[in-house]
Structure 1
């Protein structure tokens, strides 16, 4: 009878000192915050690598004589490489641990950036992007898993938003670097833009191995219960609460093991049984969890965010902005809006809930993408008879619509899908399941990156964004119909939530 009051005590623990909680609880929350910030550094590095080619691609083409088609393949292939990384990352997280996997990702980011920055031809560029792309896949998986497993339930939404904020900060930093370094000679500027990204991974790899703890849930799965208790005591600031949480985690792990044995699966071969539990013989709740994760990851990229992150300068050129510095300045504006807007879910995800933020985000994306398509249709490139005034308004509206899309994307479909996906998976499926979701994300990102130039050449720049607007509208329907609310629930409750709400997920919205 006392289990629920105990859980409520945990949910009411404050995140930061000064919020009225006990000093020990505040210290524990501060420790979880520090761990989350360090883990999120991998997302800053990912964001920088993701965004730097947006401004660098023009100079790479001029220096190395690379065609549009080759650039399209180079940029899109990075997402394919990250697909490989995301699938391998789930296995690495389970076998080597979340902490060591993060250090490995940092080492690969260093190698990929270094190789790309000294490339003398297209083959070397592709080799560098191969290594960096695999690192991206690792980073996308390990940071959300690590933070979800380290964070107390009361602050999990807050802390789980940090990687997405960090990723957007990395993209913004890459845009600023592109702008600041564009004035160097064309055979030097793009190398500096990319090479700067090789420095932070070195520091992160060292910090991860020397200062960060392993997650308590991974420690429990590998029999290190005392070490798990010590980590929980530091993240909660309350030894008694740490003991209760440890019992819940141990119970969840034992239940998963019993289900594996009852189902005729070999629990001593975790990698094989995990894939079987997810893809061959999943329970009803696991099927619904996978549907939620795969759907969210699909729609995030189907909305066309990669088109603006990777090709914003081309979009702005198309609308009539011809000055290179003006184009890069408008691109920086998108990065600023995206980064500032993504702070909002940090404070609201645990108050409003996941569903309201996702629904608001999807609706806003659909409207802003439609507005962007209409403004592109009115641009001088589309209408040769447009007046100077009409051209100015088309350019201003395009930049405004693109910024509005970045803002509404960042309210939900940017950060919330990652926190939602990492918290609804059962413990023994969490790393591999996150890897599958990330793989779908990378496939869709690759499709957009590999085809965007060809797409707008076939249906027009405006037509491309009409398609993305339709996908954003479909994502609103998906969230409304299929996703239950998870706010305030412990990770161990999620499987029952999806099983109980199988017929009507919206009934569980809070």
Structure 2
């Protein structure tokens, strides 16, 4: 992002304005003067229309719906493939196959995030989103084709398909928040930013619910069809004006911004602000050496560090452990179909909470929701840890049930629901918004890529080591340790994370200078 003094903004907002906008032009490889006439009825007070930007953002967040479907696909179909009934010829009859099936998307997601940070700046936001959709489509097509194979070829197609879907997940995790942050007006940027996490939750919920009733194959067919629809819609999207201006395609940037904001909105003030920022930063693209030098500046590395640590606290809430133990708690409550009910209860709670978060993020601000989320999450984890402690030895004899506090399960379920709601309303999605907002435009692709890489590394660690950690410190120890870490996260957010509500991306960047 970049800036300079704005001749347009120096004029009264309630007057029609006419200004000469100096923008670098790609065709002349220099600076040309383009006369900008702005005599709209609403002047600068005219609000941007929301229809086109809303359509664009709804399409973009479908990349996270695909992400969620890929995650939700794991739990309900694994029993189809693992031979839980003792079938030694089942495709995933060995534990190593099951672990590979689960972890492969996270591994490829990490690999793709490393690449995506460069790709998203090199080819643009829209082409990067199309890479995401194509990777998903190839992955699910390969899973569908497993119906025609068996044995080693079955596993090869399944694993390559999961790996390809993981590439799509990695691109989505980086590209979508960045795309939305650069397309949306500041007053609704948070609203659409939180829709990524909402779409992820909806995808997980649908995948788990539908997968309960149909086989792995037909669920893959449904996801492939959804992916094809998403790809077609993604083709209709526009590139972000900010990225186009970094490529000196200013005329095209203006046309797209008029299409997004409406003909009656004065787009020149917004364009001027971005142009000034780009001019202030640098007139040349950064090579690898220059990028490394750029990261030595506090105004660049400091926001990246803030976002990366925020990502650490997001993953260290222990959400993996809560979801993993949810079915066990429902079993202790002697509820029929505990797996299905826990999926519906937790998935429903998560979606409702994220809807509230989506509404409140531009009302209360990022920091208020993040701090509230961390505190609620920490308290819920403490209660859940206490419940697990009271139902463990020496207080409880699992074989006889003597001394067990199973009657406290309503408290555990309530704490679990509060945890999911608290996590979803803030820590679940807002860190992605803040990351896309605070990292400077010049290194935003690389910076967001670094943060996403940190996120994916933690996902792989949790997926591969959580059960071992839980066995080592007991479930109650795991919950209590997560509660302490999350409480420290609340202190960190209150101390270091800036409020970005109502600020332009240019204003946010200036605050780190």
TM-score range (shorter-chain normalised) is 0.7 to 0.9
- Structure 2 distance, partners of 1:338, 1:227, is 40
1:93-129: CA deviation from partner (whole Å, max 9, x where unpaired): 1122111111111111122223235544544433222
**Does residue 151 in structure 1 map to residue 151 in structure 2?**
no
Match of 2:279 in 1: 254
Question: TM-score, normalising length from structure 1?
Answer: 0.84
- Structure 2 distance, partners of 1:60, 1:8, is 65
Cα 1:33/1:116, change in 2 over 3 Å? same
2:93 pairs with one of 66, 75, 82: 66
Instruction: For structure 1, list consecutive stretches of 5 or more residues without a partner in the other structure.
Output: 10-20, 182-188, 259-266, 500-510
Q: Does the 8 A contact of 1:350 with 1:488 survive in 2? A: yes
Any residues of structure 2 matched to 1:65-214 within 5 Å, and which? 65-68=92-95, 70-119=97-146, 120=150, 121-181=154-214, 189-209=215-235, 211-214=236-239
Match of 1:505 in 2: none
Q: Does the 8 A contact of 1:101 with 1:138 survive in 2? A: yes
Q: CA deviation at 1:386?
A: 3.4
1:460 pairs with one of 474, 495, 506: 474
- Structure 2 distance, partners of 1:268, 1:407, is 43
- Structure 1 distance, partners of 2:405, 2:103, is 34
- Structure 2 distance, partners of 1:492, 1:237, is 22
**Does residue 369 in structure 1 map to residue 381 in structure 2?**
yes
1:61-103: CA deviation from partner (whole Å, max 9, x where unpaired): 1243434454334323422211111121122211221111111
Q: Does the 8 A contact of 1:77 with 1:450 survive in 2? A: no
Any residues of structure 2 matched to 1:396-407 within 5 Å, and which? 396-407=410-421
1:329-350: CA deviation from partner (whole Å, max 9, x where unpaired): 2122111111110111222111
2:366 pairs with one of 342, 351, 354: 354
- Structure 1 distance, partners of 2:10, 2:344, is 48
Report which of the two structures shows the higher radius of gyration computed on alpha carbons: 2
Cα 1:238/1:289, change in 2 over 3 Å? farther
Q: Does the 8 A contact of 2:133 with 2:227 survive in 1? A: yes
Q: CA deviation at 1:324?
A: 7.4
- Structure 2 distance, partners of 1:8, 1:454, is 64
1:9-58: CA deviation from partner (whole Å, max 9, x where unpaired): 9xxxxxxxxxxx99x95672221111100111111111111122122223
Match of 1:340 in 2: 352
Report the structure, 1 or 2, having the larger helix content: 1
Q: Does the 8 A contact of 1:353 with 1:486 survive in 2? A: yes
Question: Which secondary structure does the structure 2 equivalent of 1:28 belong to?
Answer: coil
Match of 1:36 in 2: 57
1:197-220: CA deviation from partner (whole Å, max 9, x where unpaired): 2221111112211x1111001111
Question: TM-score, normalising length from structure 2?
Answer: 0.83
Q: Does the 8 A contact of 1:48 with 1:197 survive in 2? A: yes
Match of 2:29 in 1: none
Match of 2:317 in 1: 303
- Structure 2 distance, partners of 1:96, 1:212, is 15
**Does residue 225 in structure 1 map to residue 250 in structure 2?**
yes
Pairs aligned (count): 465
Cα 1:415/1:65, change in 2 over 3 Å? closer
Cα 1:155/1:77, change in 2 over 3 Å? same
Q: Does the 8 A contact of 1:293 with 1:421 survive in 2? A: yes
Q: CA deviation at 1:235?
A: 2.4
Q: Does the 8 A contact of 1:296 with 1:417 survive in 2? A: yes
Cα 1:471/1:220, change in 2 over 3 Å? same
Q: CA deviation at 1:410?
A: 0.9
